[in-house]
Structure 1
């Protein structure tokens, strides 16, 4: 059963899907598990139709997840839309959710690698190993889990997050559902077959059972880095430079009119300063309002002390006091 080039095929059974997966030469097959009641699925079907016209050597397939439950169960489809990528009937990648740019990127990556000769397998393994090392070392404490800390997608991952949070441990996470290559590759790399997996300083600590044992023995607190208290973090940020501006955006791109005006005023003084984008960090954005007892942004600090917002800075500029204050002369 061959799908016409540039057209999205529909699979209504496990047999039909099996036939569509058997494409000659190991070419790429992308399967969209969808549901008619989900509007985001309809949008992604349109994206698929566009991609099918651009990538005529790729087979695109839609499969109604709830209509073929045995297939959905086999591939652990727990939400729609979900996209699976196949070569030689073997799953090589996965994408959960309606992420059109990410779908386009994955199709381009896998479609281009389909035409690469088998002799490049060693270099592909090297690339994956380098990528895994980079991810493992992305933070002092890295958790590879199903879902995110806010929305764990399995009971073990949920328990792991709860333990780490209970102990005030600072960690970053990676959703292994978002990348099938990482999901499978990390099992081999770490010689650990299940998730979640916790790494500290680039070394595998283990899964949930190990973490529970370390918690019971009191060793967990000595192994994992503690989260910095918010007040300490705010003090450190405020004192990061003699003149610190907390704003929406950065020096190059202000993301609100008030921030843009205050940057223009400070730039005209010729004084060096650093900025912090409060849009990038909700914890700092909310915490600094309370800490400084100042409800709005931007906020300007000199030598760790709050000067004020845009109105105060304008007044200081008019009175000629701004430059001496920025230079720390007042």
Structure 2
């Protein structure tokens, strides 16, 4: 598409490895966002529109489109095996990565990374911030698994095996996808002095990786290692059944913190049905645990009589088909 966006100085297409390296060198310490795309993929086209909008807001950031298969040397170097994939560079070094067409996540990462640190701020400050964030994530649930992908869709063999072991031993755990956050992925290796993934934590302490979990399973100690895990399931059940209609969202009835949550509130309010909300941003344990418990990886999530109905798309479909009221009243 030859739109106005194509002509923006900070939104460019790159066709060779040399061009790519030149752009990185020229950007210096400013942020460079590289979209590994494929012409045949409609989601890449959508993400280019998002990039064009971001390019208008962040004039000091360079946005690059790169046909992944046309420049295989670059794709292979950075382990890009699917499209769309976004890599973030500063000072010629890769600082973050995002796999998949997640517009809100892309926007968030650009906003966070495009901020150049003020003179007074040192690297130590950002390390302290990251360590606090890691600590919060590790303690988000009694049993926390840092893995590649999600329990529903593990993205590596080791992660798949550890998920199978935990499920086989009926251990309730929450998980974090390290592929979604390069800061966490790199930072946790240093923080815990453990260089590989997956990593399992219990009550904020590192248990270890797949080999150690295998050993614990074989010796019969795995259930004892994850003692409080069952409590999370009980807690989730209690919250889900708190009200006939329960919405788990980002924010609350008064102020939604994301577009999807805002839209679902508007639909529910238009029905006049009574419902309660739970703000997952205030509780990392519930946020991570509910994804596993319900086998539903995103928010918002709507429950009626303790049963998951679904997210925004499903609620929209129910509204269009005229079935929403009977579902909300628990009639169907």
For Structure 1 versus Structure 2, the TM-score category normalised by the shorter chain is: 0.7 to 0.9
User: How far, CA to CA, are the matches of 1:84 and 1:296 in structure 2?
Assistant: 42
8 Å contact 1:248–1:259 — kept in the other structure? no
User: How far, CA to CA, are the matches of 2:307 and 2:244 in structure 1?
Assistant: 9
8 Å contact 1:211–1:220 — kept in the other structure? yes
Task: Say whether residues 1:223 and 2:225 are aligned partners.
Answer: yes
Partner of 1:31: 34
Map 1:6-25 → 2, pairs under 5 A? 6-25=9-28
RMSD, aligned CA: 3.5
Partner of 1:62: 65
Which structure would you say has the larger Rg? Answer: 1
8 Å contact 1:6–1:54 — kept in the other structure? no
Partner of 2:284: none
The secondary structure found in structure 2 opposite 1:20 is: helix
Q: CA deviation at 1:282?
A: 8.8
TM normalised by structure 1 equals 0.73
Q: How many residues align?
A: 274
8 Å contact 1:52–1:59 — kept in the other structure? yes
8 Å contact 2:273–2:328 — kept in the other structure? no
Q: CA deviation at 1:14?
A: 2.3
Partner of 2:139: 137
Q: CA deviation at 1:233?
A: 7.2
User: How far, CA to CA, are the matches of 1:230 and 1:57 in structure 2?
Assistant: 45
The secondary structure found in structure 2 opposite 1:22 is: helix
Map 1:168-317 → 2, pairs under 5 A? 168-225=170-227, 228=230, 245-249=243-247, 252=253, 256=268, 260-261=272-273, 279-280=301-302, 284-285=306-307, 297-298=328-329
Q: CA deviation at 1:13?
A: 2.5
The secondary structure found in structure 1 opposite 2:101 is: coil
Deviates more, 1:51-60 or 1:179-188: 51-60
Greater relative CO (CA pairs within 8 A, separation 6+): 2
The secondary structure found in structure 2 opposite 1:23 is: helix
Deviation digits for residues 105-139 of structure 1 (CA, Å, limit 9, x no counterpart): 21111111x25338421100100000000010111
Deviation digits for residues 278-304 of structure 1 (CA, Å, limit 9, x no counterpart): 9445994069xxxxxxx95446xxxxx
Deviates more, 1:164-173 or 1:4-13: 4-13
8 Å contact 2:38–2:83 — kept in the other structure? yes
TM normalised by structure 2 equals 0.72
The secondary structure found in structure 1 opposite 2:133 is: helix
Deviation digits for residues 142-165 of structure 1 (CA, Å, limit 9, x no counterpart): 111111111111111111111111
8 Å contact 2:34–2:66 — kept in the other structure? yes
Partner of 1:320: none
Q: CA deviation at 1:246?
A: 1.4
Structure 1 residues 194 and 5: CA distance shift in structure 2, 3 A: same
Q: CA deviation at 1:260?
A: 3.3
8 Å contact 1:147–1:175 — kept in the other structure? yes
8 Å contact 2:86–2:99 — kept in the other structure? yes
Structure 1, unpaired ranges of 5+: 264-277, 288-294, 300-308, 310-330
Q: CA deviation at 1:224?
A: 1.5
User: How far, CA to CA, are the matches of 2:233 and 2:144 in structure 1?
Assistant: 24
Structure 2, unpaired ranges of 5+: 1-5, 254-264, 276-299, 310-325
User: How far, CA to CA, are the matches of 2:164 and 2:218 in structure 1?
Assistant: 15
Partner of 1:90: 93
User: How far, CA to CA, are the matches of 1:71 and 1:231 in structure 2?
Assistant: 44
Deviation digits for residues 169-198 of structure 1 (CA, Å, limit 9, x no counterpart): 111111111111111000100111111111
Structure 1 ranges of 4+ moved more than 6 A: 229-235
